[in-house]
Chains A and B, each alone.
Chain A
Amino acid sequence: DAGITQSPRYKITETGRQVTLMCHQTWSHSYMFWYRQDLGHGLRLIYYSAAADITDKGEVPDGYVVSRSKTENFPLTLESATRSQTSVYFCASSGGSYNEQFFGPGTRLTVL
């Protein structure tokens, strides 16, 4: 189906484990983004990518790694998960820097 998907939708892991959240879009959008949503903070930008092989840090990048080898995929990796990374993670894509961002359904991650 066309659109933007995230997997898994729910994930429980333990402190210190590596976790990868997947994001896939079918629109061939150039721009892709990762946000985290926490109570009292709204959404905050973790990383973004303007094109394949181009990524840059957002507001809260510490503890996260991204890659973008293909236009349609933008995985987010927590190299060593911490409890403070318990959050809902949203991936988004956009056809241009000033265009509307389309959001995936989110991944709820719990780090025990």
Chain B
Amino acid sequence: AQTVTQSQPEMSVQEAETVTLSCTYDTSESDYYLFWYKQPPSRQMILVIRQEAYKQQNATENRFSVNFQKAAKSFSLKISDSQLGDAAMYFCCTYSGGGADGLTFGKGTHLIIQP
């Protein structure tokens, strides 16, 4: 079984600043994927970024980047130049397939953007 831990229930950052959301996970699988999903007040789940575990290079999507530390089983999300529209719940997820399909979610981090 996989587990995902997000140790920060809530984070606050000033607009235009940088914030890092933490995530650790545990899996016995050798091949897996990691995701960050964003859930704004509209409730819609939106993919922010994904990382294949076999890739050493950290994924980047515009202002969003990850720090993937495979040995430490850590997958943090960095948001640069925070914008008001970034305010949302952020969920860290793992996926390993292999008959146990479906994402395993952390409990989420509520990100507040201070204007």
Contacts and interface: CB of A to CB of B under 8 A. Distances in A.
Interface of A: 31, 33, 35, 40-45, 48, 50, 56, 58-59, 88, 90, 92, 97-98, 100-101, 103, 105-106
Nearest to A98: B33
B105 A44 contact: yes
A105 B43 contact: yes
B62 interface: no
B22 to A, nearest CB: 15
B26 to A, nearest CB: 15
Contact of A100 (B43, B47, B105, B107): B47
Contacts of B106: 42
Contacts of B25: none
7 contacts: A43-B45, A43-B105, A45-B103, A88-B43, A98-B97, A100-B35, A101-B47
A58 B43 contact: no
Given A41-B107, A100-B50, A48 B43 contact: no
Contact of A97 (B43, B97, B107, B108): B97
